[in-house]
Amino acid sequence: MKRLSTISKKSVDQADHANASTRVNPALKTIVSLRDAARECKACDLWKDATQTVFGEGPSRAKIMLVGEQPGDQEDRVGHPFVGPAGKLLVQALEQASIERDEIYLTNVVKHFKWAAAAKGKKRIHKKPRYSEIHACRPWLDSELRVVKPEILVCLGSTAAQSLLGRTFSVMRQRGQPIKSALAPVVIATVHPSSILRAPDADARHLQMQAFVNDLKIVAEFSRKAKAA
Ligand code: SF4
């Protein structure tokens, strides 16, 4: 028998992933049916403290799929992705890059809000999902990719990028560059809009927003080429 130490991490991940994938019924062929099924998901513990599953939204034949990390506080309350402060900033950036909202499908690698109570008050503080939680949720993202089949897949932030492109992927080094991947004809990573909200001052925020819009303009250009093809 092959000793465990001789099995590569990659092959373990692939085997785990294949097992996890069996959870999503392949007969579910629409985003609506997948969203309904995901409402009942208890494949990791994140459902316990969240209000609801926040599944992806957008046209099921969208050319562009944007993938973030997880729903935030407001998304958790209303049940829609990217409706909080980061989502509003994303909408502004998409407008500046001339990407129409109806061209995109918006989702996250994790579908439940992970949070911890603030030391004081009732605020819920975002907590980064663990690898095991991202892994448990991956079949839902794979099912969205299977249905939408985007021409351009955009990873927003390092959690999404490392989940989809490997754990050594660096958004800072590789942002805005097309990455070779089997996930979509064009795959690009950029920052998560929430990182712009954390900029230390107005000047830094302006520069970070400009860089984000520039990355999205590259996405817009690929989208124009895909439409023309
Ligand atoms: S985070 Fe994903 S895998 Fe975990 S319970 Fe929610 S939908 Fe299921």
Query: Confidence class of residue 166 from pLDDT cuts 50, 70 and 90?
Result: very high
Most informative mutation of 22, 41, 48, 75 for ligand 1 (most atoms within 8 A of CB): 41
Say if residue 125's pLDDT is above 60: yes
199 CB-contact burial (10 Å; exposed 0-12 / middle 13-18 / buried 19+): middle
- The 8-class DSSP code of residue 145 comes to H
77 CB-contact burial (10 Å; exposed 0-12 / middle 13-18 / buried 19+): middle
Say if residue 7's pLDDT is above 80: no
Helix axes 31-38, 131-148, angle to 10 degrees: 160
Query: Confidence class of residue 153 from pLDDT cuts 50, 70 and 90?
Result: very high
Q: What is the average per-residue pLDDT within 39-58?
A: 97
- What pLDDT score does 15 carry? 40
Say if residue 164's pLDDT is above 60: yes
CA of residue 177 to ligand 1 center, whole Å: 30
Q: What is the average per-residue pLDDT within 160-167?
A: 96
CA of residue 213 to ligand 1 center, whole Å: 31
198 CB-contact burial (10 Å; exposed 0-12 / middle 13-18 / buried 19+): exposed
Query: Confidence class of residue 121 from pLDDT cuts 50, 70 and 90?
Result: confident
**Residue among 105, 207, 120 at smallest CA distance from 150:** 105
Q: 93 by DSSP, 3-state: which?
A: helix
- The CATH number of domain 9-228, selected from 3.10.300.10, 3.40.470.10, 3.40.50.2300, 3.40.190.10: 3.40.470.10
- What pLDDT score does 101 carry? 87
State the Cα–Cα distance between residues 219 and 43, nearest whole angstrom: 33
pTM over 0.85: yes
- What pLDDT score does 218 carry? 98
Q: CB-side exposure of 168: number of CA atoms within 13 Å?
A: 1
In short, whether 42's Cβ falls inside 6 Å of ligand 1 is yes
- What residue's CA is closest to ligand 1, atom 6? 112
Position with higher pLDDT, 122 vs 205: 205
Q: What is the average per-residue pLDDT within 129-158?
A: 97
